[in-house]
Structure 1
Amino acid sequence: MRAALAPPPEPQPGPVRLHNVSIALFAVAGFFLMTGILAQLKSGDQDGSSSAYQAGAWVGVFLLPGLLAGVGLIVHSTTRERRTGTSVADIARRGMWQRHLQTWQAGWLCRSCWTAFFPAGTFHPDSPATPAIPLAHFPHWVMTGTAPAPGRTEA
């Protein structure tokens, strides 16, 4: 019963792919990380060098790749925020959802016979009342746009 009376679900924005700049930054960071680790492993124990020097060498291996990965994450998150919900398809889905929601809100429920209907004058001043719609068919009826959008006049 509750599902039959629920409004149309709000559309979710489409997927956002990784930005090319963030892909390049992640790739360069991975390359520097792998070459740095391999260089440290090949050099082995550096005789005569202090432990501070050895620790600095290992920190250096992770510093540049970490910075590049951080910048890549920042680029990805800022471009994702700008692009989420702004594509033509997302805007069209949102407009269609708003039309379905207006149609759903214009409907009335008859609790005694468990049907829905649209009263006279709902869609335009001269529109007649719709026949009773069984609740099981009401969500499909609203989502297929069988009725004109509220506030819209038919020719």
Structure 2
Amino acid sequence: MPVPRAQVDGDLDRGVREALAPPPEPQPGSVRLHNAAIVLFSIAGFFLMTGILRQLKSGDQDGSSSAYQAGAWVGVFLIPGLLVGIGFLVHSATRERRTGTSVADIAWRGMWQRRLQAWRAGWLCRSCWTAFFPAGTFHPDSPATPAIPLDHFPHWVMTGTAPGRTET
């Protein structure tokens, strides 16, 4: 029976279905923090620390109203808060642009498509509990593969080559 059908066959035990599992889909690479966001976060931290230190040094400002004192404390957090917000906007915009579009991500997706195609072409022999690939699976003139033990089947799917043939 074809491997994709065997994968969902409820009569097969769990170990066989795990050995016949499809290749894992690649996940997009991580996106590092954008340099502009790092600069904005650093400046925000600097402004926050200097503002807090200045407010603590000035202490209770004699003669100033409580509204003025509250405004001074709000001002300490206002500019750093704006800078952090802008930094997050810059980071999210660059993350959306970069996720899944790098050359490496596109190459991995192409390899995964070829591996998934090879996995779909595999067959399971239920009488001897081995897998094989029919003739022409890997290239038009490739012979059928010999019986493959189930624990070696994922390796054959991941390499995608017929015996005696190397990819060029």
Short-chain TM bin: 0.7 to 0.9
Report what 1:54 is aligned to: 69
| Equivalent runs, 1:128-139 vs 2, <5 Å | 128-139=143-154
Q: Unmatched 5+ residue regions in structure 2?
A: 1-14
Change (3 A) 1:13 1:23: same
Matched, 1:144 2:165: no
Change (3 A) 1:123 1:140: closer
Distance 2:107 2:123 in 1: 27
Report what 2:57 is aligned to: 42
Report what 2:101 is aligned to: 86
- Identity over aligned residues, as a percent? 87
1:133 alignment partner AA:
I
Matched, 1:99 2:109: no
Matched, 1:9 2:34: no
| Equivalent runs, 1:64-83 vs 2, <5 Å | 64-83=79-98
Q: Deviations over 1:56-94 (max 9, x none)?
A: 110110000000001101110110111012111111111
Distance 1:22 1:36 in 2: 21
The alignment of Structure 1 onto Structure 2 pairs a total of residues equal to: 149
Distance 1:90 1:84 in 2: 9
1:42 alignment partner AA:
K
Deviation for aligned residue 1:39: 0.8
Change (3 A) 1:59 1:144: same
- Aligned pair partner of 1:29 in 2, 26, 44: 44
2:95 alignment partner AA:
R
Aligned residue for 2:31, secondary structure, equals coil
Distance 1:15 1:108 in 2: 36
Q: Unmatched 5+ residue regions in structure 1?
A: 149-153
1:141 alignment partner AA:
W
Whether the 8 Å contact between 1:103 and 1:147 is mirrored in structure 2 is no
Aligned residue for 2:151, secondary structure, equals coil
